[in-house]
Amino acid sequence: MELNEQRRLSVPCSFKNVRKLAAFVRDCCQGLLSDEEATLVELAVVEAANNIVSHSYRDSEGWPVELASRYADGFLDFLLSDRGLPFNPDCVPEPSFDWEAVDEIPEHGHGLFLIRSIMDDLRFIHQGDMNLTFLRKRVGSVSSSPAIDQAEFVCEEADPFQAILPKAPKPLKRPDDSGALAKTIPELASALSLQTEPETAFGKLCETMMVHFKASSCAIRLKKEGSLELAGNAGEDAKREQKSIECSKDGSLEAKAVSLGSEIFSEQPDKDGFLRLCLPLTGIGRLLGTATLSFRDMDLLLLAKERFPRELSNLVSVAVENQMLYAKALDSERSKKEMETAANLHKGIISMLIPNVPNLLIYAKSQPAMEVSGDYLSFHKAGESTLWFMVCDAMGKGMSASFFSILSHMTFQSVLFLQEDLDPGALLTLSNRILSRDFDRFEMFMTALVGKIDTAAGTLKYASAGHCPPIVQHPIGGIELLDTQDYMLGVDSDIDYKTYSIPFTKGMRMIAYTDGLTDIVGPDGEMVGIDPLVDAFSGEFRKGRNVLKACEKVFSSAVGSSTSRLQDDITLIGIECA
Amino acid sequence: MPSRLGILFKAFPSPPSIFSETEMPSGKSSVLKVAKRLDASNAVEFKTSAVAFLNDAAVKSLIIDFSETSFLDSAGLGALVSVLKAASQSKGRKFALASLSPHVRQIFELTKLYRLFEIYNSVEEASAELES
């Protein structure tokens, strides 16, 4: 996980799905904790999740369990949430056994003890209809643990889960503008529960605070790279005050408030006649910045200070933190839309339309691991009896792999457009020469299997650029892997790819695929591998299924057996000579 | 013609089991090998299998082989405690754990449950001890 990165995973409640959460945790720990520590953290989260399945949902499957994680300020945090029955950890006694009385040793009750032994912090919070289980693990040698203020979690209005899962914006609830100071913290919390467009959020936050504390102006400053940066102000007064606020950096109520960790105020008015009250804004384990309120009147300042308990700073901090995360969520949403556009372009450019070729049954399916695919699958019909097929897999996955798959697709199509009577080996050789320079510049490689089936001649010619060996099944006899030896595309521009040829007659079937299918990690944590794939097809064909049904069964089983999301793009084609 | 890698599979094998059982050459000890993970999703199945072994009159001792197990949670621990209780109630049946990975061993140490079980470095060592 990267610094300040956040991830989340939601699964239906079941012990089986707890394994998906476990895999998620292991992934989050990668690069941060040793294998030994990661296994223990995995265990702690698994115990907490098991607790939700057993106790919160009373073994009733299907209810939602969400796990969010983040890495920040030297801590790896996990937050499990559920909407089941609240859990009271005080009801679970510390394990204490009479070791001689084996029959009296309890079989349950070790989970909570294990979590507490492993993690640096564990909290159970019930908020609204939601239960939150917070687990924290220190990463590396952080000398001191920034305190997590309990107020962040117990305040009714400041939902800590919003900080991790920002909700859709809703209009700002304006406080009562009667002129009276807020009497209760919940009232103020309600006013500060800001969910609005990020561009205006800080201004509205300032307005809210001004109304409540009768201040002349207010500024929220967020810490950025060691300095305090003005991030928001409110109204004309605040704009006029901006200069003096900037000047006050040296004098530094902010610095004092930050260093003291508590609110501080100026006892003498500045040159413009303003008295200032400054609050440090402490986020989750880190300093976010400061909020400064300006007053003309010392009595008002003192009144506000009196009504400024520590919780206020926490409420503002949560609102600010939510707003920052909401802005990130909007960015993420924009990126997602861009990715959707890229995915649609990828699908549009690389058509997976299956041509109608007499005497051939053709299956083709592809599923990306991410939004866009680095796998490439395409057909090209030449005349009435000839079918070209291409199955490629660009190194990596996601956007970059997708770009190169489109590039190779256009190259194949261009070469075939100019010279359709090529052999597959020649097509790969020419395409590799065209692509190699660009592949080399971006250190990209691609595997490819190109085939040409001629039903009139009864042949299958193929060439491979380091691709997974295709499977061929004979109508009488066994199932076999065909030989594929040559280098991947992009390795060497001077390679001459070899064309292989085998008879492809009635009843024969050919299966081609990408390594996403063989590298699937099953429920037992092991990669499925190529042998079980061959084995699965052998079984399907023996049951009398044709290539369409056999491929669909294997493809859906493979996708279903993968833990959590797919590790790699998966592509499968099957062709049967009918 | 390309060279062939040969006909690979003649028969469709049975799906892999979560637990596999073997018998030591001496015939006195049965070994139940645990899967990669023993957790809440398979603890009940494990417990049922192990207790069924202990109820078999032919079985004199049962060794749980953890050589392939890298993850154990408290539900798995609870299942082991259950099996231990079943073994203590079946007269003369011996029960031991063998080949614990460092992680699995650590869980026993954290919970101090290592005090309850006979734990050996290998199945062979456990077998030799139980059959002596």
pLDDT digits (tens, 9 = 90+) for A42-82: 999 999 999 998 888 877 776 778 888 888 778 888 989 88
d(CA A180, CA A472): 82
Whether the CB of B59 is below 8 Å from some CB of chain A: the reply is: no
Q: Which is more confident, A536 or A504?
A: A504
- A16 chain-B contacts, CB cut-off 8 A: 41
CA torsion A469-A472-A477-A478 (nearest 10°) is 40
How much is the pLDDT for B21?
65
- A483 chain-B contacts, CB cut-off 8 A: 2-5
Over residues A430-446, mean pLDDT: 87
Mutate: best of A15, A528, A537, partner B, most B CBs <10 A: A15
Local confidence band at A224 (pLDDT 50, 70, 90 cut-offs): low
Mean pLDDT, chain A, integer? 76
Local confidence band at A536 (pLDDT 50, 70, 90 cut-offs): confident
Alpha-carbon distance A487 to nearest alpha carbon in chain B (angstroms): 16
Alpha-carbon distance B31 to nearest alpha carbon in chain A (angstroms): 20
Alpha-carbon distance B69 to nearest alpha carbon in chain A (angstroms): 10
Q: Which is more confident, A529 or A355?
A: A355
pLDDT for A392 beyond 50: yes
How much is the pLDDT for A152?
35
Whether the CB of A482 is below 8 Å from some CB of chain B: the reply is: yes
Q: Using CB atoms and an 8 Å cut-off, which of residues 492-551 of chain A contact chain B?
A: 500-502, 524-526, 531, 534-535, 538-539, 542
Interface confidence (ipTM) of the complex? 0.82
Q: Which is more confident, A235 or A571?
A: A571
pLDDT for A373 beyond 90: no
Q: Which is more confident, A410 or A96?
A: A410
Over residues A529-558, mean pLDDT: 86
Local confidence band at A397 (pLDDT 50, 70, 90 cut-offs): low
- A526 chain-B contacts, CB cut-off 8 A: 36
- How wide is the angle at C-alpha A9 spanned by C-alphas A317 and A334, nearest 5°? 65
**Torsion sign across C-alpha atoms A289, A295, A300, A302:** positive
Q: Where are the alpha helices (DSSP H) in A170-297?
A: 185-192, 198-213, 235-251, 253-260
pLDDT for A452 beyond 90: yes
What's the N-to-C CA distance of chain B in angstroms?
A: 61
CB contact under 8 A, A526 and B36: yes
Amino acid letter, A239 = K
Distance of CA A217 to the CA centre of its chain: 40
pLDDT for B12 beyond 70: no
Local confidence band at B16 (pLDDT 50, 70, 90 cut-offs): very low
β A509-513/A570-577 pair status: antiparallel
Q: Are A573 and A362 in contact (CB under 8 A)?
A: yes
Length of chain B: 132
How much is the pLDDT for A145?
37
How much is the pLDDT for A369?
74
Which residues lie across from A8 on neighbouring strands?
Answer: A68
Distance of CA A325 to the CA centre of its chain: 15
Q: Which is more confident, B131 or A474?
A: A474
CB contact under 8 A, B41 and A39: no
Instruction: Dig out the tokens for A551 from the structure.
Output: 């491929």
CB contact under 8 A, B35 and A478: no
Over residues A527-537, mean pLDDT: 79
> In chain B, whose CA is at the least distance from the CA of A464?
B2
**B58-98 confidence digits (pLDDT tens):** 778 889 999 999 999 999 999 999 999 888 887 778 899 99
Distance of CA A297 to the CA centre of its chain: 50
Instruction: Dig out the tokens for A470 from the structure.
Output: 């295709």
- B113 chain-A contacts, CB cut-off 8 A: 105, 110
3-state secondary structure of B100: coil
Q: Are A264 and A299 in contact (CB under 8 A)?
A: no
To 10 degrees, what angle do helices A547-561 and A530-542 make?
Answer: 140
> In chain B, whose CA is at the least distance from the CA of A501?
B1
| SS3 labels along A433-502 | HHHHHHHHHCCCCEEEEEEEEECCCCEEEEEEEECCCCEEECCCCCEEEECCCCCCECCCCCCCCCCEEE
CA distances, A36 to each of A32, A334, B98 (Å): 12, 38, 20
pLDDT for A165 beyond 50: no
CB contact under 8 A, B7 and A113: no
pLDDT for A8 beyond 60: yes
Which segment of A232-246, A287-301, B3-17 scores lowest on mean pLDDT?
B3-17
d(CA A253, CA A232): 18
Local confidence band at A232 (pLDDT 50, 70, 90 cut-offs): low
pLDDT for A90 beyond 80: no
Over residues A526-531, mean pLDDT: 70
**A257-286 confidence digits (pLDDT tens):** 766 767 788 878 877 788 888 887 776 566
pTM of the model: 0.43
- How wide is the angle at C-alpha A160 spanned by C-alphas A293 and A12, nearest 5°? 160
pLDDT for A309 beyond 60: no
**A326-367 confidence digits (pLDDT tens):** 777 778 878 888 888 887 887 777 776 788 899 999 999 888
Q: Which is more confident, A549 or A308?
A: A549
Q: Which is more confident, A49 or A242?
A: A49
Residue position matching structure tokens 């009562």: A176
Q: Which is more confident, B14 or A435?
A: A435
**A112-146 confidence digits (pLDDT tens):** 889 988 998 888 887 767 788 889 998 875 433 33
3-state secondary structure of B97: strand
Instruction: Dig out the tokens for A171 from the structure.
Output: 């209009």
- A531 chain-B contacts, CB cut-off 8 A: 8-9
d(CA A279, CA A257): 6
Report the residue from B8, B73, B113 with minimal CB separation from A43. B73
Alpha-carbon distance A32 to nearest alpha carbon in chain B (angstroms): 18
Local confidence band at A148 (pLDDT 50, 70, 90 cut-offs): very low
- B71 chain-A contacts, CB cut-off 8 A: 22, 39, 42-43
Q: Are A73 and A99 in contact (CB under 8 A)?
A: no
Whether the CB of A86 is below 8 Å from some CB of chain B: the reply is: no
d(CA A204, CA A527): 53
Q: Which is more confident, A240 or A423?
A: A423
Q: Are B35 and B19 in contact (CB under 8 A)?
A: yes
Report the residue from B13, B39, B111 with minimal CB separation from A110. B111
CB contact under 8 A, A117 and B115: no
3-state secondary structure of A343: helix
Q: Are A60 and A36 in contact (CB under 8 A)?
A: no
